[in-house]
Chain A
């Protein structure tokens, strides 16, 4: 393998996007209204598009003949490198928006930094994906503000969503000094973005020291196994199936 560090990095980012896409797609036909249904499907497809580029590149870097499909559909849970955040069940709509807020507030500065990194392929992917991330962040922020500063019930559920999701944000920013972009350098911008949204939404950042991790090392929650079973069953039953 030419560059194992870049391979691991591209794989982790690709897995984040792939699993996020699969989770968001679960909302199709179930969103609160038709317009939101399409918005969530759009965002899921953006994530899937980024996942395809990143996994294809990871496969090329690995040089073992695995393409994007082999990486997406023929690995088991312990081989996935996505963060735990994206594999968490969707919960209610408020929790899904909390997850999307944290994910997009992380992906936006990440892809922006990537767009200026030395690796040309990653720079091109970052340049494309950051515009999509900006929209995902905008969409999540809109809903978090409306639900947080809405009715008593919507506020309660939005705060509960943030409380559930927040501990999983820490894993995103564990330092990787050798990586094309060190995630630890993105934490400041993330905190500024999210705290501004939460303040306007009259929500509070939970004070908890709990910081679950392990996703980047392949140690996942059991939720990922069920997600993979559904995502991979067709390809495993009918290898190379197309339509």
Chain B
């Protein structure tokens, strides 16, 4: 049965105020059951206050093959970090 049911990615919010974090995935025939299963699998020990389930097929992911083109150009652009800039003397509200 498992091979016929879709894969769902599970996101759990640990506490109010925090963002939902990816915790794993599971198989379920539909969204409602995916949510129930996520409750059983990932919040058994009070890990969360809110759960999202997302069809894994709905996620568009960056490809590992494109890693260089995607991420490396940022490596030598230190001016993108706020610490690159000196704050002039006497600026109170920057």
Interface centre among A34, A35, A39, A146 (most CB of B within 10 A): A35
Cα separation A154 to B59 with both chains bound (whole Å): 31
Q: Which residues of B contact A39 (CB under 8 A)?
A: 36-37, 40
Q: Which residues of A contact B37 (CB under 8 A)?
A: 35-36, 38-39
**B41, CB-defined interface residue at 8 Å:** yes
Cα separation A138 to B36 with both chains bound (whole Å): 9
Q: How far is the CB of A88 from chain B (nearest CB, A)?
A: 24
Q: List 28 A-B contacts (CB under 8 A).
A: A32-B1, A33-B1, A33-B2, A33-B5, A33-B27, A34-B2, A34-B27, A35-B26, A35-B27, A35-B28, A35-B37, A35-B40, A35-B41, A36-B37, A38-B37, A38-B40, A38-B41, A39-B37, A39-B40, A42-B40, A42-B44, A138-B36, A139-B36, A142-B32, A142-B36, A146-B29, A146-B30, A146-B33
Cα separation A146 to B28 with both chains bound (whole Å): 12
Cα separation A35 to B41 with both chains bound (whole Å): 7
Q: How far is the CB of A167 from chain B (nearest CB, A)?
A: 29
Beyond A138-B36, A146-B30, 4 additional pairs, beta carbon < 8 A:
A32-B1, A34-B2, A39-B36, A139-B36
- Residues of chain A having any CB pair with chain B under 8 Å: 32-36, 38-39, 42, 138-139, 142, 146
Q: How far is the CB of B74 from chain A (nearest CB, A)?
A: 39
B33 is contacted by which of A38, A42, A142 (Cβ under 8 Å)?
A142
Q: For residue B2, which residue of chain A has the nearest CB?
A: A33
**Inter-chain residue pair count (beta carbon < 8 A):** 30
Q: How far is the CB of B88 from chain A (nearest CB, A)?
A: 59
Q: Which residues of B contact A35 (CB under 8 A)?
A: 26-28, 37, 40-41
Q: Which residues of B contact A139 (CB under 8 A)?
A: 36
Cα separation A139 to B29 with both chains bound (whole Å): 14
Q: How far is the CB of B82 from chain A (nearest CB, A)?
A: 45
Cα separation A142 to B32 with both chains bound (whole Å): 8
Q: For residue A150, which residue of chain B has the nearest CB?
A: B29
The 9 closest A-B pairs by CB, nearest first: A35-B37, A33-B2, A39-B40, A32-B1, A33-B1, A38-B40, A42-B40, A35-B26, A38-B41
Q: Which residues of A contact B33 (CB under 8 A)?
A: 142, 146
Q: How far is the CB of B66 from chain A (nearest CB, A)?
A: 33
Q: How far is the CB of B46 from chain A (nearest CB, A)?
A: 14
Q: For residue A145, which residue of chain B has the nearest CB?
A: B32
Q: How far is the CB of B44 from chain A (nearest CB, A)?
A: 8
Q: Which residues of A contact B26 (CB under 8 A)?
A: 35
Q: Which residues of A contact B36 (CB under 8 A)?
A: 39, 138-139, 142
Cα separation A36 to B41 with both chains bound (whole Å): 10
Cα separation A109 to B14 with both chains bound (whole Å): 31
Q: How far is the CB of B67 from chain A (nearest CB, A)?
A: 32
Q: For residue A42, which residue of chain B has the nearest CB?
A: B40
Interface string of B8-46 (1 = CB under 8 A from A): 000000000000000000111110110011001100100
